[in-house]
């Protein structure tokens, strides 16, 4: 009996998604609740599990196809697992010689390569991972995957490539075959281009950011912050903090709490425009920009005004891990009254971040570097960071924006203010 796999409900106001990757192919055995396909929506990528155990039948949609909620995208033949599993394993058992590398080597076409498996997890490699494997000459079966269900990620391949210099010949053996084509192309001086369709998430990011520029009256104000006090506090208490709360004490907790003080004192920075009305919030839900494999996502740390440093750091760490694994949900992204984006982790010195509609302001953090500054008439070296507040000038006046940023600066330079509500 064949069961139909349908596109599940994808969240409020989301009516369709795009087939991002088939995790199983026809003939593969599948267990109950085992993911078979990854769907890309406007906000996140989600995995659709099989409702029954059996064998994958027909795939009714291809990678890149747009499918609506409720559409049938595949079938599963129930009860066929027991019959299919021995058949799949029979060939390796009887003839061990051609088990791993000969099949991909004999058929190097992209379609056949989709059947490549990673390590013991027997998971299909995504296009990005497959491209990285070929580029770096890495044997995927020799790399342990850190993704969901042990699947190989692009980061795993890159890490393995960096360590490849210390490996022996067996690990490096696939490299000549993988790099033969690029070497030939380089010798002929051929210049290539590649067209890749934008993911649904990237299209949405582009549309929303352009809409923010077209709709809002964007302006950015800057300041710089002496990070000495925060760095000393981290250095002094990081071990005790980690021991008690089982999480590292990072900078984002300090900036989230400092932002809470600013948003409380300057409510318009925590508000938004809805038609001809201004919506003020008596709570602080901070969207934290997180880098994910398919683009930037902004999960929301809720009720920052009611949380301590430890819970904020745990929430942010959890979002970062799930963004990497592709397991963030639509609910994780919903809402948010203010955004913090930390370009400093990538080395950015200064930027003008774009607001995340319908929010009215975003705080941009940047890298910390030692600079000569004047303190009490003396030139000293201090760890300094530029901070930027981009805001919608339709709602927030310059005085309010500068005041909010100054409150954040003062709280970071004197963290005691966060404890005594100054």
Residues 6+ apart with CB under 8 A from 402: 221
Beta strands in 43-201 (DSSP E): 45-49, 54-59, 66-68, 72-78, 117-118, 123-124
CA dist., res. 15 & res. 317, Å (int): 30
Cα 279-341-41 angle, rounded to 5 deg: 75
CA dist., res. 56 & res. 67, Å (int): 19
DSSP letter at 50?
P
Given phi > 0 = left and psi -120 to 50 = alpha, else beta, which region is 415?
Answer: alpha
CA dist., res. 296 & res. 364, Å (int): 14
> Looking at 33, 65, 149, 397, which residue is catalytic?
397
Q: Measured in whole angstroms, how far is the alpha carbon of residue 228 from the centre of its chain?
A: 30
The single residue listed with the structure tokens 């139909």 is: 4
Cα 308-312-316 angle, rounded to 5 deg: 170
> Looking at 393, 410, 414, 421, which residue is catalytic?
393
Q: Has 136 been annotated as catalytic?
A: no
CA dist., res. 286 & res. 341, Å (int): 10
Q: Has 393 been annotated as catalytic?
A: yes
Q: How many residues does the chain have?
A: 422
> 361-375 and 338-342 as β-strands: parallel, antiparallel, unpaired?
parallel
Give the helix/strand (H/E) hosting 350. Answer: none
**Inter-CA distances, 411 with 7, 177, 228, 248, 306, Å:** 47, 57, 12, 20, 17
Q: Secondary structure of 188-210 in the HEC alphabet?
A: CCCCCCCCCCCCHHHHHHHHHHH
CA dist., res. 74 & res. 311, Å (int): 41
Query: Which residue, 396, 230, 359, 257, is CA-closest to 313?
Result: 257
3-state secondary structure of 387: strand
Q: Catalytic site residues?
A: 393, 397
């Amino acid at each position: 009996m064949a069961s139909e796999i349908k596109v599940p409900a994808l969240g409020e106001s989301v009516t369709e998604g795009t087939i991002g990757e088939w995790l199983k192919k026809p003939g593969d055995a599948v267990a109950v609740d085992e993911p078979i396909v990854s769907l890309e929506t406007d906000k996140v990528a989600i995995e659709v599990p099989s409702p029954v155990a059996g064998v994958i039948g027909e795939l009714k949609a291809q990678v890149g196809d747009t499918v609506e909620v409720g559409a049938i995208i595949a079938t599963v033949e129930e009860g066929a697992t027991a019959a299919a599993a021995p058949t799949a394993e029979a060939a390796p058992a009887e003839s061990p010689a051609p088990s791993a590398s000969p099949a991909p080597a004999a058929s190097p076409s992209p379609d056949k390569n989709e059947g490549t498996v990673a390590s013991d997890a027997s998971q299909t490699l995504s296009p990005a991972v497959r491209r990285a494997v070929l580029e770096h000459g890495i044997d995927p079966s020799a790399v342990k995957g850190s993704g969901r269900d042990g699947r190989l990620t692009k980061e795993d391949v890159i890490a393995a490539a960096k360590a490849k210099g210390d490996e022996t010949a067996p690990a490096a053996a696939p490299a000549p075959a993988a790099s033969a084509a690029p070497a030939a192309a380089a010798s002929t001086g051929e210049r290539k281009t590649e067209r890749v369709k934008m993911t649904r998430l990237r299209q949405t990011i582009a549309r929303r950011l352009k809409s923010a520029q077209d709709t809002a009256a964007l302006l950015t104000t800057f300041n710089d912050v002496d990070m000495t006090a925060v760095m000393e506090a981290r250095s002094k208490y990081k071990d005790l903090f980690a021991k008690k709360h089982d999480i590292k004490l990072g900078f984002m907790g300090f900036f989230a709490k400092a932002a809470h003080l600013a948003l409380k004192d300057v409510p318009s920075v925590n508000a938004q425009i809805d038609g001809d009305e201004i919506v003020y919030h008596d709570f602080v839900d901070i969207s934290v920009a997180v880098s994910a494999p398919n683009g930037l996502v902004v999960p929301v740390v809720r009720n920052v005004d009611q949380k301590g440093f430890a819970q904020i750091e745990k929430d942010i760490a959890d979002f970062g891990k799930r963004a990497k694994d592709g397991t963030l949900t639509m609910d994780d992204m919903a809402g948010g009254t203010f955004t913090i984006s930390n370009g400093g982790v990538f080395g950015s010195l200064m930027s003008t971040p774009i607001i995340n509609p319908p929010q009215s302001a975003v705080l941009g953090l940047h890298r910390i570097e030692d600079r000569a500054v004047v303190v009490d008439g003396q030139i000293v070296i201090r760890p300094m960071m530029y901070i930027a507040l981009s805001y919608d000038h339709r709602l927030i006046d310059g005085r309010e924006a500068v005041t909010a940023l100054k409150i954040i600066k003062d709280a970071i330079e004197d963290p005691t203010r966060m404890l005594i509500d100054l």
